[in-house]
């Protein structure tokens, strides 16, 4: 499989909602000692810094959130529930604390390795259809917190551009604050997207002007 060119740092230096939409269709690649794994990004969530009650930036820059406030194009990797890792792409200039959570991938490379890492996954669609699942499948953990996403072991690469007509927007999943904001972006009807709660409103994507927060 031919891997695309890594996305430049300038790609991330924009409103996280714009980045979250445009990350759909790109390819997340992780190169580890066990092998190479990759998948197409099919679901993301935007987190908008200290003014977003659901964003980790509200607590300020701590040892845990240090890389959330890093330069654009940095990986922010953190643990939830004491067991699952989540990976984010930091957006906007250093010190602002905005990021995009990668929520689901369509596996494309190293699927046998993903199956070994996630033996309880009954179907291939279950390997990477959630933020903790995709990190486990690709071997992403806290050692990659702060890694640049344009070089090294963890990269986001250009894929096939996705038309707006295939993008759907919903509220973010699994949060209690600012839970109604439509900051989750997904590929419509893609089987690798994580389950959407039945009560969630869905809307077609409407492009917004690229603007700084």
> What is the domain-level CATH number for residue 34?
3.10.300.10
Mean pLDDT of 130-154: 97
Pairwise CA distance, residues 177 & 206, whole Å: 24
Question: Tens digit of pLDDT for each residue in 84-112?
Answer: 999 999 999 999 999 999 999 999 999 99
Q: Is residue 102 domain-resident?
A: yes
The reply to whether 194 falls in a domain is no
* Host domain of residue 176: 9-189
211 part of a folded domain: no
Tokens read off for 59? 């607590």
CA 97 to chain CA centroid, Å, is: 15
With respect to residue 82, please indicate whether it lies within any of the assigned structural domains: yes
In contact, 87 and 76? CB cutoff 8 Å: yes
**How many domains are contained in the chain?**
1
Predicted local distance difference test score (pLDDT) of residue 83: 81
Instruction: Please report where in the chains the tokens 């930036």 appear, as a residue.
Output: 57
Question: Is the four-CA dihedral 27, 87, 57, 9 of positive or negative sign?
Answer: negative
| 47-79 residue pLDDT tens | 999 999 999 999 999 999 999 999 999 999 999
Question: Is 48 a member of any domain?
Answer: yes
Report the predicted TM-score, pTM, of the whole model to 2 decimal places. Answer: 0.95
Say yes or no to pLDDT of 82 above 80: no
Tokens of 121: 């996954």
């Amino acid at each position: 499989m031919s891997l695309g060119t890594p996305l430049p740092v300038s790609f991330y230096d924009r409103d996280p909602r714009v980045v979250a939409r445009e990350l759909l269709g790109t390819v997340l690649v992780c190169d580890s000692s066990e092998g190479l794994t990759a998948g197409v990004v099919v679901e993301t969530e935007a987190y908008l810094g200290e003014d977003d009650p659901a964003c980790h930036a509200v607590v300020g820059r701590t040892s845990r959130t240090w890389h959330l406030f890093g330069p654009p194009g940095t990986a922010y990797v953190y643990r939830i529930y004491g067991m699952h890792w989540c990976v984010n792409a930091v957006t906007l200039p250093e010190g602002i604390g905005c990021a995009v959570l990668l929520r689901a991938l369509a596996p494309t490379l190293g699927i046998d390795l993903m199956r070994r890492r996630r033996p309880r996954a009954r179907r291939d669609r279950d390997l990477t259809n959630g933020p903790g699942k995709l990190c486990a499948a690709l071997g992403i953990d806290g050692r990659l917190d702060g890694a640049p996403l344009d070089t090294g072991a963890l990269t986001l690469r250009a894929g096939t551009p996705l038309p707006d007509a295939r993008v759907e927007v919903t509220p973010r999943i699994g949060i209690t604050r600012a839970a109604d904001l439509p900051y989750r972006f997904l590929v419509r009807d893609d089987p690798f997207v994580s389950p959407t709660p039945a009560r969630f409103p869905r809307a077609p994507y409407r492009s917004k002007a690229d603007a700084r927060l």
